[in-house]
Chain A
Amino acid sequence: MNPLFGVLGAPLIGAAVLAAIPGYRMSARLNVAASLIAFLASLLLLRERPPSGDLLLVDDLNIVFIVLSTFIGFTTSVFSASYIGHELETGRLTPAYLRFYHAMFQVMMLGMNLALVSNNIGLMWVAVELATLSTVMMVGIYRTHEAIEAAWKYFILGSVGIALALFGTILVYLAAQPVVGAGLAGMAWTGLVAHAAQFDPALLNIAFVFLLLGYGTKVGLAPMHAWLPDAHAEGPTPISAVLSGLLLNVALYALLRFKMLMAACPGAIAPGPLMMGLGLLSLLFAALMLYRRRDIKRMFAYSSIEHMGIIVFAFGIAGPLGNFAGLLQMTMHSLTKSAIFFSVGHVAQVKGTQRIADMGGLTETHPLLGWGLVAGVAAIAGLPPFGVFMSEFLVVSSTFAREPVLALLLVLGLLIAFGALLLRLTSVAFGAPRGPRTGVHASYVPMFAHLALVLIAGIYLPAPLVAWFQHVAALLG
């Protein structure tokens, strides 16, 4: 049986079933089960790879994303199970909303998985839109003024972004059509990349501008980032984790695909400088924005923008080192950031607020959560022994040898961002305890599983993984 059925079918069926089932315990478990099946199926993909069709494709590049995506989907569903119960107790959500929530969770997973495995740029666009719509729903699920505003902002900006991306997609088709011919082949990655050399470079250039801005909106690059902080802050925390850990990656994946296309067409402008520019802008902007944040989830959302900036920069610098670093950074960021959100989610539940000023002394009152948060922030700030250190090491050092000025800007951004994170971390994790000290029924497994993976990656990367990343990095050019 084709494992892709598992990857796509599990969320699809899961969504349908979850929409029908009342009772949150049952549905939370089912949610976990569906996510687990998708994850296992994606692991199967590693062993046997189905042949690519007109619509679906599994190759070296996207399999990285698929496995990562289904894994984080799975761990998030585990976290969500313990998180959401608390929301029900405090009355922030009603059972009906929970039913909706679980169904939407699977729809979102379906959208993201579909976007990753689709071979067709049109289908991918539809899938990304599906994921966007479902996350918009989730962001607004608390129905507070702030949540609705965040959802609306997300929706409008996301829609405009996605519209631009569609225009870009049409232009790509237009460029492909004279060479590849009309029909599905003209929109399939496999066909596009194979013939990219003969495409009209000028048309591709314009297409790339639209795609960069369109999918860049979803990646959260400045100046199209505005939806991201609020969406992270106002939605349920599992969704924040998924947004940072997955959705941004999916959009990034789309960008990377188109970048490969650009790279394959000799006359087209190099996408590198554009990506480096936007990446640096995002990094510096987000770094400064971190300072005035009072909401802990919004702060980490800005940190996601910062990291997306670094990742896009790394892919912009390209070369074997740059691409390797970008892939690694992306993987590590997904794992770390979702781990941070797992911790933050429980913290916010305990304290009854997301205001940083109302938290304090976490390592004393809730040692596991607190130290987990400390480890997470240390990891996200690029300190060893965590994996982000390696990727930032590679990005900075390889940039400095080639573009010293850019590297200095990069380092400046990293330092500024680090300062802000450190300041807030100190006030949250240390000092005299502030806010309620009640215990928490937290599931620590997802958080520490992620941190452990990041830790191991920081110390030891298994050779097959490295070879695979290097291969992908070479593909990316």
Chain B
Amino acid sequence: MTLLLLCVAALLALGAAGAARARHPDGTAVVYGGSLALCIIAGLVGLLHLGAAPQTGVLPLGLPWIGARFRIDALAAFFLVVVGLGGGGASLYALGYGRHETVPERVLPFFPPFLAGLILVVIADDAFSFLFAWELMSLASWALVVAHHHDAENTRAGTIYLLLASLSGLALLLALGMLAGPAGNFAFAAIRAAPPSPLGGLVLMLALLGAGSKAGLVPLHAWLPLAHPAAPSHVSALMSGVMTKVAVYAFIRIVFDLLGPPAWWSGVVVLALGGVTAVLGMLYALMQHDLKRLLAYSTVENIGIIFIGLGLAMAFRANGFAAGAALALTAALFHVLNHALFKSLLFFGAGAVLSATGERDTEHLGGLIHRMPRTAFAVLTGCAAIAALPPLNGFVSEWLTFQAILLRPDLPQWGLKVMIPTDGALLALAAALAAACFVRAFGITFLGRPRTAAAALAGEVDRFSLAAMLGMGLLCLLAGLFPGVVIDTLAPLMQALLGARMPAQLGLPWLSIIPVEAARSSYNGWLIFVFIAAATTLTILAIHRFASRAVRRAPAWDCGFPDPRPVTQYTAESFAQPIRRVFGSVVFRAHEVVLMPPPGDTGPARIRRSLRDPIWDALYAPVGHWITRAADVMNVLQFLTIRRYLGFVFIALVALLLVLALWQ
């Protein structure tokens, strides 16, 4: 615990050092090297505490009569590991990537405090410290989002981000305030000891609002696709991979730890939101051609998957089915870890592409697999993992979620009876769309022929970036091959939170995983991997040995009409067109118009497409409109005459006197 707090202090100091030495050539190395080391320490501390008894500490800071309380229990430890992994990876990556930064003085001072905020949220053990860290995390990441402030889009993104972050902070504040009661028992220990709040449902909804808006749950996701691309790529990775997970942590902490057993309908709400988020997030992602924005929307999708798991856990818990809740929560947390890994990797890849070509727009890329083979390989791993392909890790967590969905068809409540299978369909749809989305993302960016000179002249990125990407890729593979390790590591956490755990996995033959019982379902990642590897190798060997191995290079065949210009390739837009026609016409009111030149005109035909963001139109635009209207109406009050202002005083006085006269 002391070590961890020292880590946080060191990170804050590192931020100060970053401010002081930002322009110095070794400033980048010092800051990122330092944060790498500290993240490793934090991750290790988390790892050591995974199975250990909770450890607490108090500092005489924060709310004076409570102090800043900290506690590492299994839940906090797990998320510490996630933070350590994501933060460490981002720092390592930034050792190389950060050297291209044009405004280091706007990035270096805020990166370590951002990490400190992430760590503090996870270990905070009273409402004040928790929210303090929560807002610190928001503020530091906001500063990073607006680092490249000359671009008006970035500052707009920052504004929307901080506004929604503030909403989330206030919602959590309300939730925790309700839990703490009028006497202000803000320590989590006191909240746990207190009898369950009679307004538990309200607290839960507020927690959902607060944590959900930070995590990017539809319809509160609006900031995410704006802010994540705006930040420097290693920060995007951290925001997408880790910060949204910390929001998930907040939800779990409040709902599963501080609040008593939830009502079953709250499970329905969470399941519905999770399912909608998963599908809508992916559909949004499919409509993007900005690489980082696409990744950000894919984060929304994954948050949806995680919340499906959480909703299942709540539904099971509400029905007193602890073992099922353990399975669902394990699936959710496994996906938390997985997403942190592959989303970091993918954002690193996007950053590598950005620094190699200066482009984020996939329509201006292409053919990078030739110029950046290692990056391409790492990104391909990430794409396969996020598309839930076996034997990588994304598949395992989604598989576990499916197992949880299949677990109990006999829950008594009708809401759950309808919602759970629907979520199954939504999850399956989201997974299939994810595969399409990442085929598109990887294919357009890395495959084919370069669409611009920048893409044609790109070069491989530096060692640190590659190390970070390949490291994350390796972790994705390992987590996919040996999921039993992760599940067993999570077991003490489940035991502490739910009073039940999944069956022990590590003792099983062949290191398979069996979520419930052998006859029901089992999966063995490494064996499948070995099968695939062996089959591939054998085939190649056999064919090369017994058949032909001759290769001749020739121009592409292309059905006999090869066109050397890269414009004839499929673009991101055209790739998405079938899906846009199938889903987008309803969801996004997608509309296509082909403008044909008049006969005789040799100009090209043009296609114009339009999309509407349904959620923005239905939720954010009206709110903005309403506030603008109200502000306009109120603004009249700035330009009244003194007489009118006196009139207000007069009316107030007479009204109060009248009230008194009537009241007496």
Report A's interface with B, CB cutoff 8 A: 152-153, 156-157, 160-161, 164, 202, 205-206, 209-210, 212-213, 217, 223-224, 226-227, 229, 269, 274, 285, 288-292, 319, 321, 361, 363-364, 378, 381, 383-385, 389-390, 393-394, 396-402, 404, 407-408, 411, 414-416, 418-420, 422-423, 426-427, 430-432, 459-461, 463, 466
Q: Distance (Å) between the CB of B363 and the closest chain A CB?
A: 26
| A residues near B177, Cβ cutoff 8 Å | 396-401, 407
Task: Count how many chain B residues have C-beta atoms less than 8 Å from C-beta atoms of the other chain.
Answer: 64
Residue of B nearest to A418 (CB): B166
CA distance A245 to B126 in the complex (A): 32
Q: Is the CB of B152 within 8 A of A431?
A: yes
What are 11 A-B pairs with beta-carbon distances under 8 A? A161-B649, A209-B656, A223-B645, A274-B656, A288-B627, A289-B634, A390-B128, A396-B173, A401-B182, A426-B146, A430-B155
Q: A209-B660, A292-B638, A400-B174 known; A415 and B167 CB under 8 Å?
A: yes
CA distance A396 to B657 in the complex (A): 30
B595 at the interface (CB under 8 A from A): no
Q: Is the CB of A289 within 8 A of B638?
A: yes
Q: Is the CB of A292 within 8 A of B631?
A: yes
Q: Is the CB of B167 within 8 A of A389?
A: no
CA distance A154 to B640 in the complex (A): 14
Q: Distance (Å) between the CB of B399 and the closest chain A CB?
A: 41
B98 at the interface (CB under 8 A from A): no
Q: Is the CB of B656 within 8 A of A426?
A: no
| A residues near B65, Cβ cutoff 8 Å | 466
CA distance A229 to B637 in the complex (A): 12
| A residues near B173, Cβ cutoff 8 Å | 393, 396-397, 400, 411
Q: Is the CB of B653 within 8 A of A411?
A: no
| B residues near A157, Cβ cutoff 8 Å | 642, 645-646, 649
CA distance A161 to B150 in the complex (A): 47
Q: Which of B63, B174, B630 contacts A411 (CB 8 A)?
A: B174
Q: Distance (Å) between the CB of A418 and the closest chain B CB?
A: 5
Q: Which of B139, B631, B634, B656 contacts A383 (CB 8 A)?
A: B139
Q: Which of A205, A224, A414 contacts B660 (CB 8 A)?
A: A205
Q: Is the CB of B645 within 8 A of A384?
A: no
Q: Is the CB of B653 within 8 A of A164?
A: yes
Q: A396-B173, A407-B174, A431-B149 known; A422 and B159 CB under 8 Å?
A: yes
Q: Which residues of B in the span 165-179 have a Cβ within 8 Å of any Cβ on A? A: 166-167, 170, 173-174, 176-178
Residue of A nearest to B171 (CB): A411
B181 at the interface (CB under 8 A from A): yes
Q: Is the CB of A422 within 8 A of B64?
A: no
| B residues near A164, Cβ cutoff 8 Å | 649, 653
Q: Is the CB of B163 within 8 A of A389?
A: no
B588 at the interface (CB under 8 A from A): no
In the A-B complex, the 5 residue pairs with the smallest Cβ-Cβ separation, listed nearest first, are A397-B177, A291-B631, A430-B149, A226-B645, A223-B648
Q: Which residues of B in the span 36-78 have a Cβ within 8 Å of any Cβ on A? A: 60-65
CA distance A401 to B637 in the complex (A): 34
Flag the segment in B130-138, B306-314, B364-372, B555-563 that touches A. Answer: B130-138
B270 at the interface (CB under 8 A from A): no
Q: Which of B132, B184, B645 contacts A321 (CB 8 A)?
A: B184
CA distance A152 to B641 in the complex (A): 11
Report B's interface with A, CB cutoff 8 A: 60-65, 106, 127-128, 131-133, 135-136, 138-139, 146, 149-150, 152, 155-156, 158-159, 162-163, 166-167, 170, 173-174, 176-178, 180-182, 184, 186, 199, 202, 627-628, 630-632, 634-635, 637-638, 640, 642, 645-646, 648-649, 651-653, 656-657, 660, 663-664
Q: Which of A288, A414, A418, A459 counts the most B-chain CB atoms under 10 A from its CB? A: A288
Q: Which of A321, A394, A401, A416 contacts B178 (CB 8 A)?
A: A401
Residue of A nearest to B117 (CB): A384
Q: Is the CB of A385 within 8 A of B159?
A: no
Q: A285-B634, A431-B149 known; A419 and B649 CB under 8 Å?
A: no
Q: Which of A209, A213, A416, A419 counts the most B-chain CB atoms under 10 A from its CB? A: A419
Residue of B nearest to A217 (CB): B649
Please report the number of residue pairs spanning A and B whose Cβ atoms sit closer than 8 angstroms.
179
CA distance A390 to B176 in the complex (A): 14
- With A210-B653, A390-B63, A430-B155 already in contact, 17 other A-B pairs whose C-beta atoms are closer than 8 Å: A157-B649, A205-B664, A213-B649, A213-B653, A226-B637, A289-B638, A389-B135, A397-B177, A401-B178, A415-B163, A415-B166, A415-B170, A431-B150, A431-B152, A432-B150, A463-B64, A466-B64
| B residues near A419, Cβ cutoff 8 Å | 159, 163, 627
Q: Which of B133, B138, B139 counts the most A-chain CB atoms under 10 A from its CB? A: B139
| B residues near A152, Cβ cutoff 8 Å | 642
CA distance A469 to B627 in the complex (A): 37
| A residues near B180, Cβ cutoff 8 Å | 397, 401
| A residues near B627, Cβ cutoff 8 Å | 288, 291, 416, 419
CA distance A385 to B113 in the complex (A): 11
Q: Distance (Å) between the CB of B198 and the closest chain A CB?
A: 12
Q: Is the CB of A363 within 8 A of B149?
A: yes
CA distance A411 to B177 in the complex (A): 13
Q: Distance (Å) between the CB of A339 and the closest chain B CB?
A: 17
| A residues near B651, Cβ cutoff 8 Å | 223
Q: Is the CB of A460 within 8 A of B638?
A: no
Residue of A nearest to B129 (CB): A384
Q: Distance (Å) between the CB of B592 and the closest chain A CB?
A: 35
| A residues near B652, Cβ cutoff 8 Å | 213, 223-224
Q: Is the CB of A289 within 8 A of B637?
A: yes
Q: Is the CB of B630 within 8 A of A213?
A: no
| B residues near A393, Cβ cutoff 8 Å | 127-128, 131, 173
| A residues near B62, Cβ cutoff 8 Å | 390, 459-460
| A residues near B163, Cβ cutoff 8 Å | 415, 418-419, 422
| B residues near A288, Cβ cutoff 8 Å | 627, 630-631, 634
| A residues near B628, Cβ cutoff 8 Å | 291
CA distance A269 to B661 in the complex (A): 13
Q: Distance (Å) between the CB of A78 and the closest chain B CB?
A: 25
| B residues near A361, Cβ cutoff 8 Å | 149-150
CA distance A263 to B472 in the complex (A): 64
| B residues near A402, Cβ cutoff 8 Å | 182
Q: Distance (Å) between the CB of A296 and the closest chain B CB?
A: 15
Residue of B nearest to A292 (CB): B635
Q: Is the CB of A422 within 8 A of B162?
A: yes
Q: Which of A156, A206, A398, A427 contacts B182 (CB 8 A)?
A: A398
Q: Distance (Å) between the CB of A314 and the closest chain B CB?
A: 13
Q: Distance (Å) between the CB of A287 and the closest chain B CB?
A: 9
Residue of B nearest to A210 (CB): B653
Q: Is the CB of A396 within 8 A of B170?
A: yes
| B residues near A290, Cβ cutoff 8 Å | 631
| B residues near A401, Cβ cutoff 8 Å | 177-178, 180-182, 184
Q: Which of B64, B184, B657 contacts A461 (CB 8 A)?
A: B64
Q: Distance (Å) between the CB of A174 and the closest chain B CB?
A: 16
Q: A205-B660, A213-B653 known; A160 and B646 CB under 8 Å?
A: yes
Q: A416-B627, A431-B150 known; A398 and B184 CB under 8 Å?
A: yes
Q: Is the CB of A397 within 8 A of B166?
A: no
CA distance A466 to B60 in the complex (A): 12
CA distance A213 to B628 in the complex (A): 30
| B residues near A364, Cβ cutoff 8 Å | 149
Q: Distance (Å) between the CB of B655 and the closest chain A CB?
A: 10
CA distance A181 to B139 in the complex (A): 58
Residue of A nearest to B161 (CB): A422
Q: Is the CB of B159 within 8 A of A226?
A: no
CA distance A401 to B186 in the complex (A): 12
Q: Distance (Å) between the CB of A98 and the closest chain B CB?
A: 29
Q: Which of A411, A426, A459 contacts B159 (CB 8 A)?
A: A426
| A residues near B146, Cβ cutoff 8 Å | 426, 430
Q: Is the CB of A160 within 8 A of B149?
A: no
Residue of B nearest to A462 (CB): B64
CA distance A362 to B645 in the complex (A): 36
Q: Is the CB of A384 within 8 A of B136?
A: yes
Q: A401-B182, A418-B163 known; A206 and B132 CB under 8 Å?
A: no
Q: Distance (Å) between the CB of A128 and the closest chain B CB?
A: 17
